[in-house]
Structure 1
């Protein structure tokens, strides 16, 4: 679009259905490459992607012509099919919903480090604690009953 200039950075977070730990470390990098390909194919820029066996974080540079909900729907739909065909034999699916958080250009380095450091980060903080912290930190209004299903660890 001529005369349109933008700088939109969005962190997307979503979880495996039932918060099951199904993303295997043996093939997670292949999954991340696949997701990166979808994002690039849709004309967006991938800045960081990483996660845990039960959820992922994706940081993108988004063009104003992109519809975020369409992009996330395509990522989830395509990766469900990819994972089930290649690794899980029809057992895998993502939970409904996602988190999307915007950041300024000056915050990119710290957000990229945060996403790249997920394995270390989650040694001391649960996904639920992390997600609630993000929602509260960024003043996102929410109702607990509409958040992801949380696994109760005994």
Structure 2
């Protein structure tokens, strides 16, 4: 596990995101997933985050990020969703128009996020409970 350093912090934050297409439409193909991976990596890097893993299926994607705590989770999600949706609509207009019309957003409004990595919760709880009190 790699530990990163900021100007006043040392951190290791791994987050797993899942974004689902609007109406769970099966829009994504292999070419779109490859392009999405590139876009997610670019946006993540701009925000000080690093893409660890990426994959998906026709109606959703999974992103594993090494997250930088200078960001809020909502800000990262907003940037990732808005920029990828905008570029996908521009670069794959035929695929988009097959499934969506008008001003329908590409991604569902909701998302999944979970922290991952590091010691299990029970180990951390015991470590904290066993601290020597002054």
Long gaps (5+) in structure 2:
1-5, 121-134
| Counterpart in the other structure of 1:28 | 33
| Counterpart in the other structure of 1:3 | 8
| Counterpart in the other structure of 1:97 | 110
For the residues of structure 1 that align with 2:46 and 2:8, how far apart are their CA atoms?
Answer: 23
For the residues of structure 2 that align with 1:18 and 1:81, how far apart are their CA atoms?
Answer: 17
Long gaps (5+) in structure 1:
108-154
Contact 2:55–2:63, Cα closer than 8 Å, also in 1 = yes
Indicate the RMSD between aligned Cα atoms, in angstroms. 1.8
| Counterpart in the other structure of 2:71 | 66
For the residues of structure 2 that align with 1:79 and 1:39, how far apart are their CA atoms?
Answer: 11
Q: CA deviation at 1:106?
A: 6.4
TM-score (norm 2): 0.73
Q: Does 1:16 align with 2:21?
A: yes
Q: CA deviation at 1:104?
A: 1.8
Q: CA deviation at 1:27?
A: 2.7
SS in 2 for 1:26: helix
TM-score (norm 1): 0.64
For the residues of structure 2 that align with 1:36 and 1:86, how far apart are their CA atoms?
Answer: 17
Q: Tell me the matched-pair count.
A: 107
Structure 2 counterparts to residues 104-119 of structure 1, below 5 A: 104-105=117-118
SS in 2 for 1:65: coil
SS in 1 for 2:92: helix
